[in-house]
Amino acid sequence: MSDAGVFVGVEQGYFPELGLEVEPVPVRAIADMVPMLLTGQVEAAGVGLNASTLNAVGRQAGVKLVAEKGSVTPGHGYIAWVVRKELVDSGRFQDDADVRGLRMGINPPLNATQSAVAFRRLAMRLQLGEGDVDLRPLPFPDILAALGGGAIDSGFLVEPLVSAGEQRGVLVRWRGLDELYPRLGLGAIAYATTFAEAEPSAARHFLVGYLRGVRRYLDAMDHGRGRDEVIAALIAHTDI
């Protein structure tokens, strides 16, 4: 969902208006983004604000952070802690502390993603020890499938998969990250340094189109303006 600015920009024609042809390239794991930038497979990417990204930027290793890509401000918890519906219905899970003994899916790597950061804060608050929760490294789409099949009991899942899982009766949205860790920064738009230096005009224009897309998305989701068009753009570029 934090790619909405790009998706809306593509579908609304904001990038072509600026002389750019933008091709969204699906990447299965966020940890793969920085290597793709470094090897020139992509010019821009949505990266996680994690140790590997910050180390690459700090070493000036060919990656440049240029814009925010998502944060969990109040009311915008688009990543959420979810629990298998069967556990809630049966009474096995009624309170945060009931996470003890459960199998939880977290987007890998387990020590570097924002989902992992939120879990660590939860673990500190609940005084969970090592091994109190069975953490399973799973990409977001696999978390939904694993919940549906009973392979895991809980997890951190991103929209629109959260809503899809609720509609299918697979999960209960327990808490958004905006409740667990308010204002946690989740991602950034990054450029390959070679691209930013060689094509400064294209780099600047991409951000203009991206920010127009972000503004259009927020107008639709927070204020209901042009909502159908924005939802159509998301449908065109996601699995939901």
CA distance 217 to 6: 10
Instruction: Name the phi and psi angles at 119, rounded to 5.
Output: -65, -40
Whole-angstrom Cα distance, residue 50 to residue 31? 9
On the question of pLDDT at 200 being above 90, the answer is: yes
Q: With cut-offs at 50, 70 and 90, classify the pLDDT of residue 239.
A: confident
- Would the pLDDT of 51 be above 80? no
Q: Can you say whether the dihedral through the CA atoms of 65, 31, 142, 41 is positive or negative?
A: positive
Q: Which tens digit of pLDDT belongs to each residue from 116-151?
A: 889 999 999 999 998 999 999 998 889 999 999 999
DSSP string for residues in 155-203: EEEETTHHHHHHHTTSEEEEEEHHHHSTT-EEEEEEEEHHHHHH-HHHH
Q: Does residue 31 register a pLDDT over 90?
A: no
Inform me whether the pLDDT recorded for 42 exceeds 90: yes
| Rounded Cα–Cα distance for residues 240 and 221 (Å) | 17
Of 179, 6, 219, nearest to 77 by C-alpha is 179
List the helix and strand counts (H, then E) for the chain: 12, 8
Using the structure block, give the residue that is written with the tokens 């450029």: 191
**Paired strand residues for 171:** 84
Instruction: Give helix 227-237 / helix 200-223 axis angle, nearest 10°.
Output: 120
**Band (198; pLDDT cuts 50, 70, 90):** very high
Greater model confidence, 4 or 114: 4
Query: What domains does the chain contain, in order, with CATH numbers?
Result: 4-72+184-237 (3.40.190.10), 79-180 (3.40.190.10)
- E strand or H helix that includes residue 83: strand 79-84
Report the 10 Å Cβ neighbour count for 80.
28
Residue 137 confidence (pLDDT) = 93
Cβ contacts of 56-60, under 8 Å, gap ≥ 24: 57/190, 60/193
CA separation for the pair 159, 235 (Å, rounded): 12
What is the pTM for the complete model shown?
0.76
Q: What is the 3-state composition of the chain as percent helix, strand, coil, each rounded to the nearest 5?
A: 50, 20, 35
- Quote the mean pLDDT of the chain: 92
pLDDT at 103: 97
Confidence of residue 34 (pLDDT cuts 50, 70, 90): confident
DSSP, collapsed to helix, strand or coil, labels residue 233 as helix
Dihedral angle computed from the Cα positions of residues 190, 193, 198 and 202, in that order, rounded to the nearest 10 degrees: 10
